[in-house]
């Protein structure tokens, strides 16, 4: 019997993903039917994106797994109609893109590039930055993306702290966990990178109290999730000088409304959710491998812990 694979994502993605998925499923030796309009009670796997319109999985009576094209699964992890395994997207292209964005903006802060770009008035101010080994960077969240970013920064000889909810061990990174570890890490760091999932436990993890722990004039990078930051508290910290600058790629409302104060704030850089994108070539490989595993009775890759939400 053919394996029925439903593609449930934005229609404009279908022409790009279809040949890649067909190639991967063929190379996996599977007899399959891949389409965007398979009857629900005949679907074995759903290739899923939250903006694809599918939210009620009750009719999918023979469904084996939902395979997300997104790294973030907060919009589906608590869906009560979804009772089968849910896998999030972890792929090399997405990880590399995020690492490049994080390293680029950490170096921008570290080297003072903003000041040099704007200081074109003829003044000559030799003010070399410290070496990377003298600069402390903290990565909040040590999942696949956070670990990759932390390792890349450590390879550049930054003093890298990492924090996660549970204990981790990453060579070259000083790992902390738990509430006490968060306070200790923030009190030491000059540049904070947020790469946590969006869960009830991480909402507003950077708030007035936790930002007050940071050394004065610290800098923040958020390519993770918008709700990780209390926006009003961040604006207050920027206005007081507690936080020198914030570069934000993700927001509670996207696109960021034109009237939002972040746009006009002189100490905020807005990037339009470009830190990392799912690359169809590598993402299709991950999807096809998980379908192969499902049909072979092997464990799925990158399963979501529904209790934790990621």
Q: Which residues are catalytic?
A: 225, 273
Strand pairing partners for 175? 162
Give the DSSP per-residue string, 216-281: TTEEEEE-S-GGGB-HHHHHHHHHHTSEEEEEE---SSSSPPTT-HHHH-TTEEE--S-S----HH
Are the C-beta atoms of residues 172 and 147 closer than 8 Å to each other? Answer: no
Q: Kindly list the distances between the CA atom of residue 124 and the CA atoms of 38, 118, 210, in Å, as whole numbers in the listed order.
A: 67, 13, 37
Residue 305: half-sphere exposure toward Cβ, Cα within 13 Å? 6
Q: Rounded to whole angstroms, what are the CA distances from 98 to 5, 76, 91, 258?
A: 29, 22, 11, 25
Element (H, E) at 87: strand 86-87
Are the CB atoms for 223 and 103 separated by under 8 Å? no
The whole-angstrom separation of Cα 94 and Cα 132 is: 26
Residue with tokens 């003010």: 127
């Amino acid at each position: 019997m053919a394996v029925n694979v439903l593609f449930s994502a934005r229609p404009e993605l279908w022409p790009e993903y279809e040949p890649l998925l067909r190639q991967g499923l063929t190379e996996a030796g599977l007899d399959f039917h891949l389409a965007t309009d398979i009857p629900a009670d005949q679907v074995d796997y759903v290739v899923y994106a939250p903006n694809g319109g599918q939210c009620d999985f009750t009719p999918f009576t023979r469904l084996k797994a939902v395979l997300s094209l997104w790294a973030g699964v907060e919009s589906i992890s608590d869906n009560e109609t979804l009772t089968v395994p849910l896998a999030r997207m972890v792929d090399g292209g997405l990880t590399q893109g995020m690492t490049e964005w994080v390293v680029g903006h950490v170096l921008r802060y570290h080297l003072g590039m903003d000041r040099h770009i704007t200081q074109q008035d003829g003044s000559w101010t030799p003010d070399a930055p410290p070496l990377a080994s003298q600069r402390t960077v903290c990565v909040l969240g040590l999942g696949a993306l956070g670990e990759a970013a932390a390792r890349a920064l450590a390879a550049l000889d930054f003093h890298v702290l990492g924090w996660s909810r549970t204990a981790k061990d990453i060579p070259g990174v000083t790992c902390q966990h738990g509430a006490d570890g968060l306070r200790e890490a923030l009190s030491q760091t000059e540049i904070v990178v947020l790469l946590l999932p969006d869960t009830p436990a991480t909402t507003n993890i950077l708030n007035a109290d936790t930002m007050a722990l940071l050394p004065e004039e610290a800098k923040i990078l958020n390519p993770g999730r918008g709700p990780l930051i209390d926006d009003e508290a961040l604006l207050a910290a920027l206005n007081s000088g507690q936080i020198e600058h914030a570069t934000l790629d993700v927001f509670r409302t996207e696109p960021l409304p034109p009237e939002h104060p972040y746009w006009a704030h002189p100490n905020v850089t807005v990037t339009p959710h470009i830190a990392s994108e799912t690359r169809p070539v590598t993402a299709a490989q991950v999807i096809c491998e998980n379908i192969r595993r499902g049909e072979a009775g092997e464990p799925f890759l990158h399963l979501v812990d529904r209790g934790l939400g990621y």
